[in-house]
Amino acid sequence: MRSVFFAVDNRAGSSRWRRRCPTLSSNPAVQSGPFDVAMLVPAARLWQSAAMLTLPNLLTLSRILTVPLLVALLWPAEIGARWTTGYALAFALYCLMGVTDYFDGYLARAQGAVSRLGIFLDPIADKIMVGAVILMLAATRDIAGIHIVAAMVILLREIAVSGLREFLAGLQVSVPVSRLAKWKTTLQIIALGALILAGAVPQYAFVQMIGLATLWAAAVLTLITGWDYLRVGIRHMD
């Protein structure tokens, strides 16, 4: 198959390029002006780049780009304002982000559009969202006192596992997600969502209690699954 190239306009050295590429330079469109090709890019590569912008990948990117808005909605509470409306909007946005988290994976598998970009971005989007929400809830004192320990366990585990996965990836070792890790993620999502909702409905104290109890349950599973990942990593360390 004949390769197709895109030419980049450059007025210097046009004659040299024409001598090296007589076939392409014979094209009337190319001869219309004094320009040289500073770089020839295979068209197939450009199409591959465009193909990476699939709906699942766009949904994943939307989660990352929405995190600053989520933080902004919770920010007034950090300075002491009673901001139930902000909490309600933040909860709605958080739920929407959770829905996109489900559908980006579902659509990628259903459409056969699983890509390296999606595999790379999906866990990053989850960790950015979880980290941002935990930090904001700690700043607003929705997570306070001894409950900070549970939040720190979750946050530090996310950082440690990310580093461990990067180390194992360099060794071409894959660590599959266990069923227990999926339960941990589910409890984590419920806990943070409940704590955001508790700020929107402060008259219902049980909502915050559910959030904190679920946060501790997620922290316990975080330690167990974190140890599982660490054992795999230790076996591949010299």
**For 66-77, how does the pLDDT look when each residue is reduced to its tens digit (9 = 90+)?**
999 999 999 887
Longest dimension (CA), the chain: 80
Interacting residues of 12 by C-beta distance below 8 A, sequence separation 6+: 36
Q: How many CA atoms lie within 13 A of 169 on its CB side?
A: 8
Higher-pLDDT residue of 52 and 7 is 52
For 111-169, how does the pLDDT look when each residue is reduced to its tens digit (9 = 90+)? 776 777 777 777 788 889 999 999 999 999 999 999 999 999 999 988 888 787 777 77
pLDDT at 9 over 70: no
Query: How far is Cα 219 from Cα 238, in angstroms, rounded to an integer?
Result: 30
- Kindly list the domain boundaries of the chain, sorted by start residue: 5-45, 52-235
Element (H, E) at 169: helix 147-170
Question: Which pLDDT score, from 0 to 100, does residue 25 have?
Answer: 45
Whole-model pTM: value is 0.72
Rounded distance, CA 33 to CA 11, Å? 9
44 CB contacts (<8 Å, ≥6 apart)?
Answer: 3, 4
Q: Which H helix or E strand runs over 202?
A: none
d(CA 78, CA 129): 18
Confidence of residue 52 (pLDDT cuts 50, 70, 90): low
**What is the CATH class of 52-235?**
mainly alpha
Cβ atoms of 35 and 10 within 8 Å: the answer is yes
For residue 5, what is the enclosing H or E element?
Answer: strand 5-6
Please give the pLDDT value at position 153.
94
Encode pLDDT of 180-194 as tens digits.
888 888 899 999 999
Judge whether 222 and 185 are in contact, CB under 8 Å.
no
Q: Find the radius of gyration of the CA atoms of the chain.
A: 25
Higher-confidence residue of 100 and 151: namely 151
What's residue 80's pLDDT? Answer: 67
